[in-house]
Amino acid sequence: MQGRRTVRIEADGGSRGNPGPAAYGAVLLDADSGEVIADRAEAIGVATNNVAEYRGLIAGLELYRQHADGAALQVRMDSKLVVEQMSGRWKVKHPSMRPLVEQARSLAPAGTDYGWIPREQNTYADRILNEVLDGRRLSSVEPVETSDLDKLDQRDSLDQRDSLDQRDSLDQRGLEQKAAPYLRGWAGDAQPTTLVLVRHGVTAHTVDKRFSGGLAGSNPGLNDEGRAQARATADWLAPLAEDVDVLVSSPVRRTLETAQILAERLGKQVAEEPGLAEMEFGAWEGKTFAEVREEHPDELEKWLGSMEHPAGGGESFTQVRQRVLAGLGRLLEGHAGSTVLAVSHVTPIKVLVAHALGAPLEAVYRMELAPASVTVLTFFPDGNAVLRMFNARPVELALTGR
């Protein structure tokens, strides 16, 4: 139809680790002038590049539906896979990708023109997704300026514009994700991966409240109480043995000993995952908090005040998060759709909970995690996650108060 408006979506997705921390970026442009109508960028948790790219496309198509529905549409991406699958020339082979593909197809208008562009021509979408991953931009939908609203097709009514304004207001209040018709957790058809996290039982260091790190430290084993705690948790989890597909453990001695007790009770084999190891505390290893405060007051103050400062010359919280999320990515890729029983430590478990909830890393200071406790997280193929249980213990352990 002569005079019909044409708009263009440029979208991209990226994963640091593939799978790893991921985000997407999408921008809706006027195809003739190149003027930006709206954009969106969002962190989606741990995901693959392909998932992030499809999430970027879906975001772009939603922007199209919100701001230019009825216009002729071009889609330009530097993902050959997405372009060819959406064009119908390549099959979708991976089952976990099909819900995302179908979501995109349901949003795309008939006659959508898909085209591949080199990465250097997709700089806008690439830039905003990396700003989100770097923490330089909040996950958001950017509000549309009044001048852009004026350029919507003339058939858009005042009520439709008011609806857009209202939705932008909801975005600013942090409610956009509830309104967006993305696949959200259980709303999708793909099988999620469940992570049943068990903290190790106590050691002599635990009882004395001493810093006890990973492989570089003194690496104490479980004491008698710790072994009893592990057995109680193993008995508690035993009825779920058939639901557990794999048992993994941090390679540190106290977690391996805990995992072996679980393995014997549940009839499983233990595999090691280094990403689940505890923070390295360097020169603080084996010391109490009071001793570190007396001997290294300035260093302790810096560590408590910054997620970037290493503990005793060991690891910082941000370094631990990077290692832990890389391990999570390996588990999600290697055991997709399974139930994974994982034995780990205080810091990695708290990091995983903060990550699943989209909470800042500082949230680790607001969690209490008892020895031999159970925490359950479910991760969905679309990058979302749900906290299902936190710091749960058998009655006999809960009554001890430790």
Of 160, 182, 204, the last residue of a domain is: 182
At residue 158 the predicted structure's pLDDT band, cuts being 50, 70 and 90, is: very low
Alpha-carbon span 385 to 379, nearest angstrom:
4
- Given this model, what pLDDT does residue 151 score? 31
Which runs of consecutive H residues, i.e. helices, occur in 238-375? 253-266, 289-295, 297-305, 317-334, 346-357
Alpha-carbon span 377 to 380, nearest angstrom:
10
CATH number of the domain bearing residue 331: 3.40.50.1240
CA angle (257 as vertex; 255, 263 as ends), nearest 5: 100
The answer to whether residue 368 scores a pLDDT higher than 60 is yes
Interval 151-171 mean pLDDT: 34
At residue 142 the predicted structure's pLDDT band, cuts being 50, 70 and 90, is: very low
* Domain contains 1: no
Domain span at 55? 6-182
Phi, psi values for residue 377, rounded to 5°: -125, 140
Q: Containing H/E element for 38?
A: strand 36-47
- Given this model, what pLDDT does residue 27 score? 97
Q: Containing H/E element for 378?
A: strand 374-379
pLDDT, tens digit, for every residue of 53-104?
A: 999 999 999 999 999 999 999 999 999 999 999 999 998 887 778 889 999 9
- Which residue, 40, 17, 38, 16, is CA-closest to 29? 38
Residues 227, 115: one domain?
no
At residue 45 the predicted structure's pLDDT band, cuts being 50, 70 and 90, is: confident
* Domain contains 242: yes
- Given this model, what pLDDT does residue 170 score? 33
Residues whose CB is less than 8 angstroms from the CB of residue 234 and which lie 6 or more positions away in sequence, other chains included: 261, 262, 264, 265, 266
Percent of the chain with pLDDT over 90: 68
Residues 138, 210: one domain?
no
- Given this model, what pLDDT does residue 143 score? 34
Known active-site residue 278: yes
* Domain contains 57: yes
Number of H helices, E strands in the chain: 15, 12
* Domain contains 12: yes
Question: In which order are the strands placed within the sheet that holds 140-141?
Answer: 113-116, 72-77, 6-15, 20-30, 36-47, 140-141
pLDDT, tens digit, for every residue of 106-137?
A: 999 999 999 999 999 999 999 999 998 887 77
- Burial label for 267, CB within 10 Å (0-12, 13-18, 19+), is exposed
Whole-prediction pTM value?
Answer: 0.57
Of 149, 182, 215, the last residue of a domain is: 182
- Which residue, 29, 22, 24, 16, is CA-closest to 55? 24
Alpha-carbon span 273 to 258, nearest angstrom:
14
* Beta-carbon-side half-sphere exposure of residue 262 (alpha carbons within 13 Å): 36
Q: Containing H/E element for 179?
A: helix 176-179
Residues 133, 155: one domain?
yes
- Which residue, 254, 275, 282, is CA-closest to 320? 275
**89 Cα distance to chain centroid:** 31
Tally of domains in the chain: 2
What sign for the dihedral angle of Cα 161, 162, 167, 168? positive
- Given this model, what pLDDT does residue 147 score? 32
The active-site residue, picked from 200, 205, 345, 355, is 200
Residues 78, 223: one domain?
no
Alpha-carbon span 274 to 348, nearest angstrom:
11
At residue 382 the predicted structure's pLDDT band, cuts being 50, 70 and 90, is: confident
Residues 313, 209: one domain?
yes
Of 182, 204, 239, the last residue of a domain is: 182
Owner of token pair 């509830």: 178
**247 Cα distance to chain centroid:** 21
* Domain contains 97: yes
Alpha-carbon span 334 to 311, nearest angstrom:
31
CATH number of the domain bearing residue 27: 3.30.420.10
Mean pLDDT for all residues in the chain? 84
- Given this model, what pLDDT does residue 26 score? 96
The answer to whether residue 50 scores a pLDDT higher than 80 is yes
* Domain contains 188: no
Q: 4 or 7: which carries more pLDDT confidence?
A: 7
Contact 71, 113 (CB under 8 A): no
Pairing, β 36-47 against β 20-30: antiparallel
The answer to whether residue 175 scores a pLDDT higher than 80 is no
Tokens encoding 51 = 């998932």
First to last CA, the chain: 73
The answer to whether residue 187 scores a pLDDT higher than 50 is no
At residue 152 the predicted structure's pLDDT band, cuts being 50, 70 and 90, is: very low
The active-site residue, picked from 278, 285, 299, 315, is 278
pLDDT, tens digit, for every residue of 239-279?
A: 989 999 999 999 999 999 999 999 999 999 999 999 999 99
pLDDT, tens digit, for every residue of 273-303?
A: 999 999 999 999 999 999 999 999 999 999 9
Alpha-carbon span 367 to 7, nearest angstrom:
47
Phi, psi values for residue 375, rounded to 5°: -130, 135
Alpha-carbon span 44 to 20, nearest angstrom:
10
Percent of the chain with pLDDT over 70: 84
- Which residue, 173, 172, 165, 166, is CA-closest to 149? 165
* Domain contains 187: no
Alpha-carbon span 371 to 393, nearest angstrom:
9
Residues 168, 215: one domain?
no
Residues 393, 246: one domain?
yes
* Domain contains 92: yes
Residues 171, 197: one domain?
no
Residues 129, 220: one domain?
no
Known active-site residue 362: no
Residues 207, 338: one domain?
yes
pLDDT, tens digit, for every residue of 190-243?
A: 689 999 999 999 999 998 999 999 887 778 999 999 999 999 999 999 998 999
Residues 126, 258: one domain?
no
Residue 296: what residue type? H
Residues 214, 150: one domain?
no
Alpha-carbon span 215 to 213, nearest angstrom:
7
